[in-house]
Structure 1
């Protein structure tokens, strides 16, 4: 399974955990709620859904609204299919939520993971945020070194593009620092309120005072390509 398809499967499972959806509604939610998926098509989504059904993580059900029942025969097409998460699918999604490996720190995967931070335990959120920050700090160091080597050979516009890329990464690092501090403060407050022992949040939707998933910025890093 490719990294891109893995991210899509994760996002589909996460959205369907909230409620069952038609394929069109699911695609709309992916486009509007998770900007990382704005460019994908039905041709990408439906094979993903079929795979999830085959794995036993989703089931297909006929649309059961009155409008669906009337619209399909009149339009000469099949009734809409509703996709519902199974118990096995929920368990699999929770396993994915608990993973904090290197893939979780990459641009697209991090955006998808952050979108579901409300369903993620606090300690996992911390590991993902700290891993993402470390990844960006490494990227920033490479960008600075590359710029130092090549700046004399760059024209003014290319140089500005490199600087813009560095500033974008620096902004995200500052944002991550704020999120990490918010998480730490939330943990301390929770611990002091419960007799001094920090307690881990379960996946109840609490964000610990953090920005909501849709607030995550997208980092443009043209400086990564500098030679």
Structure 2
């Protein structure tokens, strides 16, 4: 999944490793934390495979090391297109789904629906497993373990509802227009002074 995330971000623009790590954390932080220990070996592997290229950039200060800027190659663009179109079960897992969802705007409509449906099946199975565990352990669990199971059950039910809504929206309009809201723009609420 790290390969998909790196290629997807480099598709937007070239960037150096630190910036890439910040963007990965910002984009996918809720799903997964990235470390330099996993990022730089992945960058080297992608470079060896010809999917990204490195540019040392202008060395403005002789005493400082130049930042290595990574950019996508044509082969990297092809690989990204393959990865976002992949609807295999690895894309339904907690980590896989989060990364794939972050790039849904570049994922073919049919693949989006298949991934959403696969994720829904996986979460429904998890939900049923939790229900069975709670039913079988009726009276044998302490209250904290019961609360933990209840939290997991409620979270699974909420995710299934959300997935149903997203799937319905995808089926109704598989090619939604990008959001027209300007970034960093605040909406004035009633009674608030206008400072602009």
TM-score of the aligned structures, taking structure 1 as reference length: 0.75
Cα-to-partner distance string for 1:176-219 (whole Å, 9 max, x where unaligned): 011001111114xxxxxxxxxxxxx5xxxx5678xxxxxxxxxx
Residue 45 (structure 1) aligns with? 39
| Paired residues for 1:11-160 under 5 Å | 11-35=5-29, 36-38=31-33, 40-64=34-58, 69-70=59-60, 72-73=61-62, 76-160=63-147
In 1, Cα distance between the equivalents of 2:32 and 2:131? 30
In 2, Cα distance between the equivalents of 1:119 and 1:15? 11
Gaps of 5+ in 1: 1-6, 188-200, 210-227
In 2, Cα distance between the equivalents of 1:34 and 1:15? 11
| Secondary structure class of the residue paired with 2:139 | helix
| Secondary structure class of the residue paired with 1:151 | coil
TM-score of the aligned structures, taking structure 2 as reference length: 0.86
Which has the higher relative contact order, 1 or 2, with Cα contacts under 8 A spaced 6 or more apart? 1
| Secondary structure class of the residue paired with 2:112 | helix
In 2, Cα distance between the equivalents of 1:80 and 1:44? 18
In the alignment of these two chains, the number of paired residues is: 178
In 2, Cα distance between the equivalents of 1:207 and 1:175? 20
Cα-to-partner distance string for 1:111-165 (whole Å, 9 max, x where unaligned): 0000000111111100000110011111111110111011311111211111011
| Secondary structure class of the residue paired with 2:53 | strand
Gaps of 5+ in 2: 180-196
RMSD: 1.5
The structure that is helix-richer by fraction is: 1
